[in-house]
């Protein structure tokens, strides 16, 4: 005889986690499609304000939809990663316990959310000021854009996504192989995404990352989160069936 209260709790947990993870992964896809029109990934670092604002004015729709999609995705993935860290609790060796996973999930998720929301609000404002500014004003806006974008992209992309996010996915991949809480294809996709994220930080060593590599990690991890979301929704359905 099943404990109906526990079953209902599990149903709600799987249902909520499934929705959050699936939407978090799904919403990252429009961003990957639309952002190249805004100069991404070259816009992450080194692009001047004049070039970035010109691209924004020409491709405003792609910028707003792409950045908003990625911002919401990052926020949902933030909570999804915390859930995935909790799923691994006490299932793996101490070195790979949920504390490192939870710490990486929180720090990576928080940092990746900041950049998308910051530029989503600040670039349109700078573009408006740019159109009304004289040459001296444009020079100030250009410097402010470079400082804001390069600082936040280093914190978000290199540290939050590539390094901390990559480390999270490595530990999560190992935990899935060991505790079998998800199928092996989840671990494989997590491992591929992790290596792609970490390899994208090769610019720290002076090695160009190229224009394709920055898209591999987000794309693979996006489909991975969608897949896990579907698995969680199927688990919710199974629990609900037992309650009937």
Q: Are 143 and 126 in contact (CB under 8 A)?
A: no
Return the pLDDT at 5: 75
Residue 90 has pLDDT above 70, yes or no: no
Residue 106 has pLDDT above 50, yes or no: yes
Q: Residue 203: which pLDDT band, with cuts at 50, 70 and 90?
A: low
Structure tokens at 205: 């060593």
The Cα 160–Cα 164 span in angstroms is: 5
Residue pLDDT, tens place only, 186-201? 999 999 999 988 887 7
Residue 73 has pLDDT above 50, yes or no: yes
Q: Residue 43: which pLDDT band, with cuts at 50, 70 and 90?
A: low
Q: Residue 53: which pLDDT band, with cuts at 50, 70 and 90?
A: confident
Q: Between residues 154 and 219, which one has the greater pLDDT? A: 219
Pick from 33-47, 96-110, 151-165, 181-195 the range whose average pLDDT is largest: 181-195
Length of the chain: 244
Residue 114 has pLDDT above 80, yes or no: no
Return the pLDDT at 184: 93
Task: Write the CA distances from 129 to 67, 125, 135, 144, 214, integer angstroms.
Answer: 20, 6, 12, 12, 31
Q: Residue 122: which pLDDT band, with cuts at 50, 70 and 90?
A: confident
3-state SS class at 27: coil
Closest CA to 226 of 71, 26, 33: 26
Q: Residue 89: which pLDDT band, with cuts at 50, 70 and 90?
A: low
> What proportion of the chain, given as a percentage, has pLDDT over 90?
18
Residue pLDDT, tens place only, 9-26? 888 888 999 999 999 999
Q: What is the mean pLDDT of residues 205-229?
A: 78
């Amino acid at each position: 005889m099943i404990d109906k209260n526990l079953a209902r709790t599990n149903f709600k947990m799987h249902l909520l986690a499934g929705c959050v993870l699936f939407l978090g992964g799904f919403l990252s896809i429009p961003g990957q499609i639309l952002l190249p029109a805004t100069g991404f990934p070259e816009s992450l670092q080194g692009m001047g304000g004049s070039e970035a604002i010109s691209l924004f004015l020409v491709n405003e729709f792609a910028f707003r939809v792409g950045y908003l999609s990625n911002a919401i995705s990052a926020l949902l993935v933030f909570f999804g990663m915390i859930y995935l860290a909790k799923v691994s609790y006490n299932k793996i060796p101490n070195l790979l316990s949920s504390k490192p996973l939870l710490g990486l999930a929180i720090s990576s998720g928080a940092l990746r959310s900041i950049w998308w929301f910051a530029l989503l609000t600040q670039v349109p404002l700078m573009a408006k000021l740019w159109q009304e500014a004289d040459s001296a004003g444009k020079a100030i806006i250009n410097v402010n854009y470079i400082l804001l974008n390069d600082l936040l992209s280093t914190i978000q992309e290199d540290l939050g996504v590539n390094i901390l996010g990559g480390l999270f996915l490595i530990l999560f991949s190992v935990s899935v192989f060991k505790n079998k809480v998800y199928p092996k294809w989840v671990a494989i996709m997590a491992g591929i995404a992790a290596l792609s994220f970490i390899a994208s930080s090769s610019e720290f060593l002076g090695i160009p990352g190229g224009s394709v590599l920055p898209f591999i990690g987000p794309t693979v991890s996006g489909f991975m989160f969608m897949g896990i979301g579907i698995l969680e929704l199927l688990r919710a359905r199974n629990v609900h069936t037992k309650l009937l």
